[in-house]
């Protein structure tokens, strides 16, 4: 079994989170069980799932099968928009814990703000209670714009630890990143490879050749050097391993500038204001 391969980021609430994790979006339960087991035995220590993925039981089975001690693993899940609201959020967390077979979550997140429903602040208060009760260690959100975060800070008594957003060189989200910096929120990227669409970019191929690395590794390294946490997803064991080999090289300052200059505000998913 390979030991922990990723550096850890210190969250604003004092907990530590691995910088590199495994995402399991669109992975069925049986595949998730095998993939999570493989990833943990290969050195991954952050697993990112969600109720909407419908694979929490498989993720839990993979964690149990891996033999990695629970206190070494950082488990994240998220609740769906239909569970926004105080009581629904409390119940959703209990359901996720049961499916995962866990006594606590390392990070619990609001999956989407669904701003037209005007319920995410009620959910935040429920998450603060879950944290106070010890069912959750850290609380955060996914797909929140600064205006949504402002509403959280108006009512919050606990610091949001993480905001997970679509983020890659074609969608640099500088306004969100700047907001996170002022508020002490850790940035985590979903779809850090733009669902593979960015991998044919010629400027990335040139940089990859100079380091004798894959284009995927170059893009993921760009995230790492910018201080983001990343949860790339793959169902192929060889790719899961490849995605972990990010910590034995550095991009030059000029290469970082080149990649950062690729932004075109291109989303592979929905704008959070449009998903309700």
161 vs 28: CA distance, rounded Å: 28
Residues in the chain, overall count: 276
Write out pLDDT tens, residues 162-171: 999 999 999 9
The active-site residue, picked from 53, 120, 179, 228, is 53
CATH number for 8-198+228-235 (one of 3.20.20.100, 3.20.20.70, 1.10.630.10, 3.40.50.720): it is 3.20.20.100
Sheet of 136-142: strand order equals 22-23, 46-48, 74-79, 105-110, 136-142, 162-166, 186-190, 229-230
- Number of Cα atoms under 13 Å in the Cβ half of residue 75: 30
CA dihedral 111, 113, 117, 120 (to 10 degrees): 90
Give percent of the chain above pLDDT 90: 98
Specify the pairing of strand 46-48 against strand 186-190: unpaired
Quick check: is 53 catalytic?
yes
How crowded is residue 115: how many other Cβ atoms within 10 Å of its Cβ? 18
84 vs 103: CA distance, rounded Å: 22
pLDDT band at 231 (very low <50, low <70, confident <90, very high): very high
CB 86 within 8 A of CB 116: no
Give percent of the chain above pLDDT 70: 99
- Number of Cα atoms under 13 Å in the Cβ half of residue 249: 20
pLDDT band at 2 (very low <50, low <70, confident <90, very high): low
Question: How far is residue 162 from each of residues 18, 107, 227, 236, 248, measured CA to CA in Å?
Answer: 12, 9, 13, 27, 26
155 vs 77: CA distance, rounded Å: 23
Write out pLDDT tens, residues 64-98: 999 999 999 999 999 999 999 999 999 999 999 99
| Average predicted confidence (pLDDT) for the chain | 97
What does the pLDDT read at residue 5? 79
Mean pLDDT, rounded, for 246-269: 97
The candidate with the shortest Cα–Cα distance to 204, out of 187, 185, 217, 190, is 217
- Number of Cα atoms under 13 Å in the Cβ half of residue 195: 7
């Amino acid at each position: 079994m390979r030991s922990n391969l990723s550096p850890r980021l210190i969250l604003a609430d004092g907990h530590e989170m691995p910088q590199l994790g495994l995402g399991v979006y669109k992975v069925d339960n049986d595949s998730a069980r095998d993939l999570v087991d493989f990833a943990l035995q290969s050195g991954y220590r952050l697993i990112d799932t969600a109720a909407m993925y419908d694979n929490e039981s498989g993720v839990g089975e993979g964690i149990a099968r891996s033999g990695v001690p629970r206190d070494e693993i950082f488990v994240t899940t998220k609740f769906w928009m239909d569970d926004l609201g105080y009581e629904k959020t409390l119940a959703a967390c209990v359901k996720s814990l049961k499916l995962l077979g866990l006594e606590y979550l390392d990070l619990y997140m609001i999956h989407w703000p669904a701003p037209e429903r005007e319920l995410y602040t009620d959910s935040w208060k429920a998450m603060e209670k879950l944290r106070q009760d010890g069912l959750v260690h850290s609380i955060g959100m996914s797909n929140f714009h600064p205006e949504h975060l402002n509403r959280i800070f108006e009512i919050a008594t606990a610091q949001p630890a993480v905001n997970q957003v679509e983020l890659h060189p074609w969608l640099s989200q500088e306004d969100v990143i700047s907001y996170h910096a002022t508020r002490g929120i850790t940035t985590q990227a979903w779809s850090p490879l733009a669902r593979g669409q960015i991998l044919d970019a010629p400027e990335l191929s040139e940089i990859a050749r100079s380091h004798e690395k894959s284009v995927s590794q170059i893009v993921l390294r760009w995230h790492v050097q910018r201080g983001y946490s990343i949860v790339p997803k793959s169902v192929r064991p060889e790719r899961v391993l490849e995605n972990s080999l990010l910590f034995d090289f550095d991009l030059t300052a000029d290469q970082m500038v080149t990649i950062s200059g690729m932004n075109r505000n291109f989303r592979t998913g929905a704008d959070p204001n449009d998903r309700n």
